[in-house]
């Protein structure tokens, strides 16, 4: 499977924590196990939340951990022209429209869906809007289904469960859903191994891939690490950086979290090589969430 191309795509909103490291290691081992390439992409399209120093910190931590990437690092904040071109393509085909609805207005009139209020399509038939507005893509209720390598069969009806979703915000920042699809195609990504917190957004990405004529990806969503309160590890939940943790102990903890065989070697480089050789997707727990190990909760 030399055509295998995987990626790790963190958002630099804080230092690398255990939850992000799980995704990094899983995507790395999957690529190396199949003799493929492993790319790194900085998903800093939301420049209001991301910082350059956090991006640098993440890269330094990956290097210390021995996770060597292939090729150049793609940075989303530098790729606005490509997202704009994709949006214009959809606009020319009348597959998007401008929307001035506020979050409060949507919440007041919408039903609750899989990922918050379902946008009811208020502006879909509105006259041309010239004031600052978001761009939404038109959806329908034909089921979008895919088989995740870990989570199994996933089916979603976008129009009734999600609604027409935003591709460019009112403040002109491009949305994650559009950026990730354009970038996966640009980098020839074949496999997306990432956290299960992104599982419910995958049908939106598949929808855009099909509208833009991009190839489908193979998906594998690993369990998300949660703290003692059941909260996803993040900057908001004060997740600890892994930069100062014993790297070999940390790798062992990540492999245990993912249900993988423990390496019998004792250097970080050989541990990673052994883990890649023994990588077993079927051994990963079929759950969306898992508790952090004691090494981090102590």
pLDDT digits (tens, 9 = 90+) for 12-44: 998 888 889 999 999 999 999 999 999 999 999
Q: How far apart are alpha carbons 87 and 96 in whole angstroms? A: 8
Question: Mean pLDDT over residues 267-292, rounded?
Answer: 95
Lowest-pLDDT choice from 9-18, 146-155, 178-187, 220-229 = 220-229
Is pLDDT of 289 > 60?
yes
Lowest-pLDDT choice from 216-220, 228-232, 267-271 = 228-232
Contact 170, 131 (CB under 8 A): no
Q: How far apart are alpha carbons 132 and 140 in whole angstroms? A: 26
Q: Please determine whether the domains at 5-77+189-202+217-297 and 80-176 fall in the same fold group of CATH.
A: yes
CATH 3.90.1200.10 fits 80-176, yes or no: no
Percent residues over pLDDT 90 in the chain: 75
At 111, phi and psi to the nearest 5? -85, 155
Token pair 């979703």 is found at 165
CA dihedral 154, 158, 163, 165 (to 10 degrees): 80
* Domain topology for 5-77+189-202+217-297: Rossmann fold (3.40.50)
Give residue-wise pLDDT tens across range 239-277.
577 777 789 999 999 999 999 999 998 899 999 999 999
pTM of the model: 0.94
Please give the C-alpha separations between residue 248 and each of 58, 254, 269, 295, in angstroms, as whole numbers: 18, 10, 9, 12
Is pLDDT of 230 > 80?
no
Specify the pLDDT at position 1. Answer: 46
Domain boundaries, the chain: 5-77+189-202+217-297, 80-176
Is pLDDT of 236 > 80?
no
Token output for 145: 């289904």
């Amino acid at each position: 499977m030399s055509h295998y191309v995987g990626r790790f795509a963190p958002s630099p909103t804080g230092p690398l924590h255990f939850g992000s490291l799980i995704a990094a290691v899983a995507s790395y081992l999957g690529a190396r196990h199949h003799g493929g390439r492993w790319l790194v992409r900085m998903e800093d399209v939301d420049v209001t939340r991301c910082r350059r120093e956090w991006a640098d910190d993440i890269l330094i931590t990956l290097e210390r951990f021995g996770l060597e990437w292939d090729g150049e690092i793609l940075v989303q904040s530098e790729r606005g022209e490509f997202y704009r071109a994709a949006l214009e393509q959809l606009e020319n085909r009348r597959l998007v429209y401008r929307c001035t609805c506020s979050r409060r207005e949507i919440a007041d009139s919408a039903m609750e869906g899989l990922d918050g209020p379902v946008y009811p399509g208020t502006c879909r038939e509105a006259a041309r809007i010239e004031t600052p507005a978001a761009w939404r893509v038109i959806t329908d209720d034909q089921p979008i289904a895919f088989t995740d390598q870990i989570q199994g069969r996933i089916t979603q009806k976008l129009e009734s469960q999600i609604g027409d979703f935003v591709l460019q915000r009112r403040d002109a920042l491009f949305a994650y859903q559009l950026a990730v699809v354009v970038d996966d195609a640009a980098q020839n990504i074949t496999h997306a191994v990432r956290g299960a917190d992104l599982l419910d957004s995958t049908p939106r990405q598949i929808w855009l891939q099909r509208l833009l004529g991009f190839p489908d990806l193979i998906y594998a969503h690993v369990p998300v690490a949660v703290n003692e309160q059941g909260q996803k590890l993040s900057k908001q939940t004060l997740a600890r950086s892994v930069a100062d943790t014993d790297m070999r102990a940390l790798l062992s903890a990540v492999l245990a979290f993912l249900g993988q065989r423990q390496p019998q070697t004792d250097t970080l480089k050989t541990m990673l090589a052994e883990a890649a050789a023994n990588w077993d997707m079927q051994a990963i727990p079929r759950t969306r969430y898992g508790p952090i190990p004691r090494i981090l909760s102590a």
